Structures are given as structure tokens and as C-alpha cells.
């Protein structure tokens, strides 16, 4: 191979690598795009400021987090062994308020809008409705760690209480 052929070959090879690298970067999805979908709850652990840990929804909670592409979300979490209502009917409004106690404490639900800060890899949710009316209109910000089909969300309350929640992509 003479010098000019070698030079042309080198330029073509360099150009091919540059095009391949650009294509790979273009194919990477944003964090928001990667989060869109349904996520099944695996675990949730709360760590108090004194280091004490608890699982508010038990060792095998049930739940789902749905993040849609338009920026809407819905979240439901439940302890598996919540107490059943004593009344025989299954109509919510016919159940005496006193029976809701522990059943409601072992259940969480909220919905609203969501966005992502790509720079610091955080998920921001703004509550529009919640089982706890006091948090409606508030925002929460959690750190996102996404590895394959596992999503870890870590948040810290203003009081310093940390919550680690793990989801697996629902299939």
C-alpha cells in the first residue's frame, strides 16, 4: 500500500468510527425516556435520623408506579396483610370510618405530574391527589439509580428521614 492509499484508508476509517460513535450517542435514551412505563414495587425501607430502619409496607409489599410519557404519574403501595374490614359489604362509603384505621395506614396512593432533572439524575413528582390530603400540591425530589430493569429511588424528608424504594420494570 502506497502513502496516498494509506492516507485515504486512514481518513475513511476515522470517518467511519466518528459516524458510529455519533450514532451510538444519538441512540442513548434520556433518563426520562428510560423511566417511562410501569414499575412493580419490590421494597421500601425508611431510615430514621437515629439510624433505626422500618418497612412501612412489610417485607413483601405490593404496588405500582406508572410514569407516562406526557408527564403524568400514579403510585400505589400496599402492605400485603392489611386487616380486612369487619363489615360484610365491599362498598367504601358503607364501611364505618373506624374500620379504616390500620387498613389505611398500610396503604399509600398519590398521583400528579412528574419530571426529571437529567443533570443530577432526580425525579420530581408534584402531588395533585393523595391519600394524605396535606401533601397535595407539594413536590418531592428523589435520586434515581437505574440499572437494567431495576429502579432505585432515594429521598430524604426535610426532617432528615431517608426512604429507599426499589422497583422492577413491570412486564
pLDDT tens-digit map of 25-43 = 456 899 999 999 999 999 9
CB atoms inside a 10 Å sphere around CB 29: 9
Rounded (5°) CA angle 85-90-95: 55
Summarised one tens digit per residue, pLDDT across range 56-113 is 999 999 999 999 999 999 999 999 998 888 876 677 788 888 888 888 889 999 999 9
How many Å apart are CA 26 and CA 142, to the nearest integer?
Answer: 27
Three cell numbers, residue 26:
444519538
Q: How far is CA 129 from CA 75, 83, 102, 132, in A?
A: 11, 24, 21, 8
Residue 2 has pLDDT above 80, yes or no: no
Q: What is the pTM of this model?
A: 0.81
Largest CA-CA distance found in the chain, in angstroms, rounded: 92
DSSP 132: S
Residue 3 has pLDDT above 80, yes or no: no
Judge whether 41 and 73 are in contact, CB under 8 Å: no
Place of cell 384505621: 101
Amino acid at each position: 500500500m502506497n502513502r496516498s492509499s494509506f492516507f485515504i484508508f486512514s481518513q475513511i476509517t476515522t470517518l467511519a468510527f466518528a459516524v458510529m460513535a455519533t450514532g451510538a450517542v444519538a441512540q442513548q435514551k434520556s433518563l426520562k425516556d428510560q423511566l417511562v412505563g410501569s414499575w412493580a414495587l419490590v421494597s421500601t425501607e425508611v431510615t430514621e435520623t437515629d439510624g433505626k430502619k422500618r418497612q412501612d409496607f412489610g417485607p413483601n409489599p405490593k404496588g405500582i408506579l406508572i410514569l407516562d410519557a406526557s408527564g403524568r404519574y400514579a403510585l400505589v403501595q400496599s402492605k400485603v396483610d392489611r386487616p380486612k374490614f369487619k363489615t360484610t359489604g365491599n362498598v367504601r362509603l358503607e364501611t364505618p370510618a373506624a374500620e379504616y384505621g390500620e387498613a389505611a395506614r398500610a396503604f399509600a396512593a398519590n398521583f400528579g405530574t412528574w419530571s426529571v432533572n437529567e443533570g443530577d439524575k432526580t425525579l420530581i413528582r408534584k402531588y395533585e391527589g393523595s391519600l394524605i390530603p396535606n401533601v397535595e400540591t407539594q413536590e418531592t425530589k428523589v435520586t434515581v439509580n437505574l440499572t437494567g430493569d431495576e429502579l432505585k429511588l432515594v429521598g430524604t424528608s426535610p426532617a432528615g428521614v431517608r426512604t429507599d424504594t426499589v422497583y422492577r420494570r413491570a412486564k
